């Protein structure tokens, strides 16, 4: 889908659909709506005053061939209350327009960008939302899909705006929107396709194309590095583990030594059966998405390389498959991690923290001075926060505050959970430095407490995206499936 700025008068634009956001508090006698109402011969006021259309957020009404405009359809898009409007909402309603257009077999949509300033931010949010909504997850259907993607999405503004700012917003929105959809595709891929080796292949292909340097560390080397926590998870599988390392040295700019080196570490479990501590079969298929943290890290690195970002960032993705077999790790086994700390593996289903432990410690070996890990880590996080907010914990309060305040722009919910030292005792082991699970209580926090052992004094943030990584119902602006959660949040922080 091509996204373009149009500066013509909107009644004159020949397109299949003109989408026009309407706020709940401008339904009567609004001067802002006056021109559209006049042009369409009073259709707007008629539907609003009759109560036929209430412009609540995400609601919409399609009008066929109204007089006065060239477009085949006029789509009124509910934008909710004006005071509560923000870039994340504009992103969503641009998506509502695209989903509506797709289901009406439209090819070209013009969208009036209203309610967000400055224009560059608005253009970027609308671009991201349009790309997000134009994505479909049914790529394994062999029957022809009726609803094809759009050809073009035209951005309109009511007043004259700085064109360069808008074009830059569209450029950035395209990069972030494409990266987010790439992360969604990885999350939606079944595990027979997206094995650790295939994950590494795609990282190599897409990463290199974006200008990243990509290194794949193979099993032999992983063994030499003493990453026995990571190896313990992949032991039961025929698929060899891969440690994917992404570096952003494309920009060719010399960065000051005093600048921090950020490490993004993403959980890349391409399938999590639980291992010997096997999961119940109901919903086990959702565990093909247990690499969503890794997908978010890869997509973020690709976006940062393209923008480009002025920061020093590297990405690490330990990619493994967690299966039971005669070779698999058993409850009670003890391993020595890359950092040297020993772990008693009580539950083989708490595997994410094991691979992250080694990858985080290795990031520090490589010189990382700040760490952010992203992982579908615990069911307990879903119990606490559902699919609305990801759990955030860590020792880098400054970064956590920035991430939280970015939510209004990114639209990705985040909520900080505590990390008191007292939670550490839940993972005390009788025979090793720690065990890999606590009891039922505060499961999202005790998992983070385990990770903290490997971040040690390096400022660190942990994002538990179990829940937010997957949309099981579908939204008015998106299809069901993997959400690409984390890409916008991480890009916003590091661009
Ligand atoms: N990948 C799961 C967490 C998960 C569960 C993500 C549901 C998305 C949806 C993780 O590896 C896991 O199994 N965690 C266990 C930890 C427990 C054994 C301490 C869990 O949450 O049950
Ligand atoms: Zn698990
Ligand atoms: Zn898992």
Mutate to test the pocket of ligand 1, among 347, 378, 384, 448 (most ligand atoms within 8 A of CB): 378
pLDDT of 254 strictly over 70: no
User: Fold for domain 177-494?
Assistant: Aminopeptidase (3.40.630)
- Among 200-214, 251-265, 347-361, 439-453, the minimum mean pLDDT is found in 251-265
Q: Choosing from 45, 59, 353, 370, which is the catalytic residue?
A: 353
Under a CB-based contact definition with an 8 Å cutoff, are residues 20 and 52 in contact?
A: no
- Phi and psi of 413, rounded to 5°? -70, 140
Mean pLDDT of 281-285: 98
pLDDT at 186 over 90: yes
pLDDT value at residue 146: 66
461/266 Cα distance (integer angstroms)? 12
Q: Where are the domains of the chain?
A: 2-161, 177-494
Question: Is 290 near ligand 1, meaning CB less than 6 Å away?
Answer: yes
Residue 252 has pLDDT above 70, yes or no: no
Q: Which of 267, 273, 324, 349 to mutate to test the pocket of ligand 1 (most atoms within 8 A of CB)?
A: 349
Of all protein residues, the one whose alpha carbon is nearest to atom 16 of ligand 1 is: 350
Ligand 1 pocket, 437 CB below 6 A? Answer: yes
User: Residue 256: what pLDDT?
Assistant: 67
469 lines ligand 1 (CB under 6 A): no
352 Cα to the center of ligand 1, angstroms: 8
Task: Establish whether 279 is a catalytic residue.
Answer: yes
Instruction: Measure 287 CA to ligand 3 centroid, in angstroms.
Output: 7
Cβ contacts of 229 within 8 Å, gap of 6 or more: 335, 337, 338, 343, 354, 355, 357, 358
Residue 26 has pLDDT above 90, yes or no: no
When pLDDT is averaged across residues 449-470 and rounded to a whole number, the result is 98
Residue with tokens 């994340």: 88
pLDDT at 249 over 80: no
Query: What is the distance in A from the centroid of ligand 1 to the CA of 79?
Result: 37
Q: What is the C-alpha radius of gyration for the chain, rounded to an integer number of angstroms?
A: 24
Q: Give the residue-averaged pLDDT of 472-489.
A: 98
Q: Give the mean model confidence (pLDDT) for residues 475-491.
A: 98
Q: Among 10-14, 29-33, 181-185, 219-223, which stretch is predicted with the lowest mean pLDDT?
A: 29-33
Looking at the chain, how many residues does it have?
495
Say yes or no to pLDDT of 194 above 80: yes
CA 386–ligand 1 middle distance (angstroms): 14
Share of the chain above pLDDT 90, in %: 94
Mean pLDDT within 9-28? 93
Query: From ligand 2's centre to the CA of 352, what distance in Å?
Result: 6
Average pLDDT over residues 443-449: 98
Residue 353 is a catalytic residue: yes
Residue 258 pLDDT class (50, 70, 90 cuts): confident
pLDDT-above-70 percentage for the chain: 97
Cβ–ligand 1 distance for 272 under 6 Å, the answer yes
**Ligand 1 pocket, residue 292 CB under 6 Å:** no
Distance from the alpha carbon of residue 127 to the mean position of ligand 1, in angstroms: 34
Closest ligand 1 atom to 376 CA: 6
Cβ count near 261 (within 10 Å): 18
Q: What pLDDT sits at residue 69?
A: 96
Tokens 């990770």 map to which residue?
451
Helices (H), strands (E): how many in the chain? 14, 20
Q: Is the pLDDT of residue 257 over 80?
A: no
| Average confidence score pLDDT of the chain | 96
Structure tokens at 82: 């004006």
Mean pLDDT across the stretch 296-302?
A: 99
* CB of 354 closer than 6 angstroms to any ligand 1 atom: no
- C-alpha triplet 87, 92, 94: angle, nearest 5°: 95
Ligand 1 in contact with 380 (CB < 6 A)?
yes
Relative to the CA of 347, which ligand 1 atom is closest? 18
Tokens of 431: 């025979």
- State how far the Cα of 292 lies from the Cα of 470, in Å rounded to an integer: 9
Check 62, 167, 247, 279 and give the catalytic one.
Answer: 279
Q: What is the pLDDT of residues 418-438, one digit of tens each?
A: 999 999 999 999 999 999 999
pLDDT band at 408 (very low <50, low <70, confident <90, very high): confident
Residue 329 is predicted with a pLDDT of 99
Residue 217 has pLDDT above 80, yes or no: yes
**Would strands 108-113 and 152-157 be described as parallel, antiparallel, or unpaired?**
parallel
Q: Is the pLDDT of residue 119 over 80?
A: yes
Q: Which CATH number fits domain 2-161: 3.40.50.920, 3.30.70.1290, 3.40.220.10, 3.40.30.10?
A: 3.40.220.10
């Amino acid at each position: 889908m091509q996204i373009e700025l149009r500066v013509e008068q909107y009644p004159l634009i020949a397109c299949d659909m003109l989408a026009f956001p309407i706020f709940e508090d401008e339904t009567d006698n609004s001067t802002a709506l006056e021109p559209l109402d006049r042009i369409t011969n009073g259709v707007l006021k008629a539907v609003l005053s009759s109560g036929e259309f209430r412009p609540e957020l995400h609601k919409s009404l399609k009008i066929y061939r109204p007089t006065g405009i060239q477009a085949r359809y006029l789509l009124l898009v509910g934008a909710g209350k004006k005071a509560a409007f923000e870039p994340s909402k504009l992103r969503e309603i641009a998506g509502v327009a695209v989903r509506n257009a797709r289901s009406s077999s439209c090819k070209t949509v013009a969208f009036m960008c209203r309610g967000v300033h400055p224009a560059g931010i608005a253009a970027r949010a609308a671009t991201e939302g349009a790309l997000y909504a134009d994505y479909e997850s049914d790529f394994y259907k062999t029957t022809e899909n009726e609803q094809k993607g759009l050809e073009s999405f035209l951005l309109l503004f009511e007043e004259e705006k700085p064109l360069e700012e808008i074009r830059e917003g569209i450029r950035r929105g395209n990069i972030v929107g494409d990266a987010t959809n790439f992360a969604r595709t990885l999350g939606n891929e079944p595990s027979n396709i997206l094995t650790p080796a295939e994950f590494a292949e795609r990282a190599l292909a897409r990463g290199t194309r974006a200008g990243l340097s990509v290194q794949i560390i193979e099993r032999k080397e992983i063994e030499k590095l003493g990453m026995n926590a990571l190896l313990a998870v992949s032991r039961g599988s025929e698929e060899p583990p891969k440690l994917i390392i992404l570096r952003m040295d494309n920009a060719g700019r010399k960065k000051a030594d005093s600048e921090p080196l950020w490490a993004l570490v993403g959980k890349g479990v391409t399938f999590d059966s639980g291992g010997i501590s096997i999961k119940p079969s109901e919903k086990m298929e959702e565990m093909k998405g247990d690499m969503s943290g890794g997908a978010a890290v890869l997509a973020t690195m690709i976006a940062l390389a393209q923008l480009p970002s002025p920061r020093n960032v590297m990405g690490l993705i330990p990619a493994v498959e967690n299966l039971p077999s005669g070779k698999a790790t058993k409850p009670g086994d003890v391993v020595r991690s890359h950092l040297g700390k020993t772990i008693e593996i009580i539950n083989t289903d708490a595997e994410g923290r094991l691979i992250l432990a080694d990858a985080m410690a290795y990031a520090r070996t490589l010189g990382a001075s700040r760490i952010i890990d992203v992982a579908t880590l615990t069911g307990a996080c879903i119990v606490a926060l559902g699919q609305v907010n990801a759990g955030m914990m860590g020792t880098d309060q400054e970064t956590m505050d920035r991430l939280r305040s970015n939510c209004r722009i990114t639209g990705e919910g985040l909520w900080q959970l505590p990390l008191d030292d007292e939670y550490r005792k839940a993972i005390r082991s009788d025979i090793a430095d720690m065990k890999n699970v606590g009891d039922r209580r505060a499961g999202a926090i005790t998992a983070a407490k385990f990770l903290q052992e490997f971040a040690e004094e390096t400022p660190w943030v942990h994002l538990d995206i179990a829940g937010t990584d997957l949309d099981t119902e579908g939204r008015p602006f998106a299809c069901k499936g993997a959400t690409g959660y984390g890409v916008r949040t991480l890009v916003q922080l590091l661009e």
